[in-house]
A and B are shown apart, each in its own frame.
Chain A
């Protein structure tokens, strides 16, 4: 089975040769190719070389377009801060008030350099990997995009105290998100990975996620040309998983295994893909044997063993730059030994 077939079979629930393996190794490509961070996050060819090096070393079942959310903020005028070994961060938000937001035009996917970088990277990876492996576009969910444009504080304030304005913001963000995501599907992405930080019970209470965010997410996801995987954004999600279940285009849900995957499966029902695994940004702190053990214990769980729609991933944000490669091989090792039982 190649990666394409493996993922397709996981979606359909067909027998597999082994579980699919999706480590989030966007940043890691910079390490593999010793590329400077600035070049990596601005030059699609450099980014593609990184993903291909990741492919050669780890043979993951999915490669990623750039996981660099701050660049989405930059497309709206936010100022960036680059550091040596991580994805860029927002230094200053681009929009300070709702009035400013109302007046501004959405960034143009055909001319904005940051958006062209996302597009071109996905196009080049899809050419380079010649259909051997699936490609995911990693984008912030529309409910998180305003945090990158207004800053976390201001967006929280709008959601909490100015819900009418928040709705208008989301309507406009949705137009941008749908355009960009659909364009990335056209360039070769098979799926979008969408961290939904604002849907987490750690960030917002249930009533707001239900009444304000879900309808807007539904509206955006309903217009996508391809499938999406909703992602926990590195925090808890289980208690709000029911709110996200059944959204259009959502074929999968990535969740912390410590929250209880059997409970998650109960909430999701039998069909959606469940994705879980060790926490990516913590892999640098663990021994490879510990990582293998965590992966094994997830895969060997009785409920997981018979779950045909399960994929082993690294959770949270990108795997950190300094993580030793053997720590990632440890996950593959666990897969090779126990990952193929879903036949």
Chain B
């Protein structure tokens, strides 16, 4: 791993947001803001994702710090963006939100940050989003993936309504349904039970999941054509 990446990682582990911001600003001044995401942030996040999968001791706090640093970096990149340079390759759009009656926004907000860092255009509908609102927005903007977050079992069951709504409008397959949140980790069967197309146990892994689901949606169309 490059020196700057390992220094960044160290700062994330120590929750040193300011230090990380200074480090990234200095690097960007020298190498160009447009290269920051692709050359530094995305590989570092991939490394963290990897570490998280293999180590029990990577905490929500550390990934939250990473998310904050990513937010700061995205902001800095936009501020310094030259008009003709495309800093982020655009993917999506996708829709995310906490399902009806769920108000645990932290996980969903982290998912949004990591998706944006990976170049996704994300429509975040916030907390307590009904099945109809999710599907209406997805149709309106042309999203192929909806990401629904829930922390309690009772609210996770509300995601069933989202699957039903997709079925009712004949959109299942074309619009893929990603789910996540604390309760899916403690109830492994739940994901299947509510009819999701995929899940990831951390926000850092969400971009990979969304890539797969986007691809699955495209595949589905070639099969049906």
- A152–B61 alpha-carbon span in the complex (Å): 11
Within the complex, which residue of A153, A157, A234, A236 is in contact with B56, where a contact is CB–CB below 8 Å?
A236
Interface of B is mostly: helix
**A92: Cβ under 8 A from any B Cβ:** yes
Is B186 a contact of A208 with CB atoms below 8 Å? no
Q: Report the interface size for chain B: residues with CB under 8 A from the other chain.
A: 26
Which segment, of A112-120, A196-204, A294-302, faces chain B? A196-204
Residues of B95-115 whose CB lies within 8 A of A: 101, 103-106, 109
Give chain A residues whose Cβ lies under 8 Å from the Cβ of B153.
Answer: 86, 281, 320
The chain B residue sitting closest to A160, CB to CB, is: B15
In the complex, what's the smallest C-beta–C-beta distance from A322 to chain B, in angstroms? 10
The chain A residue sitting closest to B183, CB to CB, is: A281
**A159: Cβ under 8 A from any B Cβ:** yes
List 13 contacting pairs A-B, 8 Å CB cutoff, sorted by A: A83-B155, A85-B154, A89-B152, A157-B64, A160-B61, A161-B17, A161-B68, A201-B59, A203-B59, A205-B13, A206-B57, A281-B153, A282-B187
The chain B residue sitting closest to A90, CB to CB, is: B103
In the complex, what's the smallest C-beta–C-beta distance from B10 to chain A, in angstroms? 12
How many contacts A-B (CB < 8 Å)? 73
Within the complex, which residue of A89, A156, A285 is in contact with B106, where a contact is CB–CB below 8 Å?
A156
In the complex, what's the smallest C-beta–C-beta distance from B165 to chain A, in angstroms? 20
In the complex, what's the smallest C-beta–C-beta distance from B183 to chain A, in angstroms? 8
- A239–B105 alpha-carbon span in the complex (Å): 27
**B65: Cβ under 8 A from any A Cβ:** yes
Other A-B pairs beyond A151-B105, A201-B57, A208-B15, 19, CB < 8 Å:
A81-B101, A83-B154, A86-B153, A89-B103, A90-B103, A152-B106, A153-B105, A156-B60, A156-B61, A159-B61, A161-B15, A202-B60, A203-B60, A204-B59, A205-B13, A206-B57, A208-B61, A239-B56, A285-B189
- A5–B114 alpha-carbon span in the complex (Å): 54
Is B186 a contact of A204 with CB atoms below 8 Å? no
- A208–B59 alpha-carbon span in the complex (Å): 11
**B200: Cβ under 8 A from any A Cβ:** no
The chain A residue sitting closest to B64, CB to CB, is: A156
**A39: Cβ under 8 A from any B Cβ:** no
**B5: Cβ under 8 A from any A Cβ:** no
- A91–B101 alpha-carbon span in the complex (Å): 8
**B62: Cβ under 8 A from any A Cβ:** yes
Give chain A residues whose Cβ lies under 8 Å from the Cβ of B59.
Answer: 200-205
- A159–B62 alpha-carbon span in the complex (Å): 12
Residues of A136-181 whose CB lies within 8 A of B: 151-153, 156-157, 159-161
In the complex, what's the smallest C-beta–C-beta distance from B22 to chain A, in angstroms? 15
In the complex, what's the smallest C-beta–C-beta distance from B114 to chain A, in angstroms? 15
Give chain A residues whose Cβ lies under 8 Å from the Cβ of B13.
Answer: 205
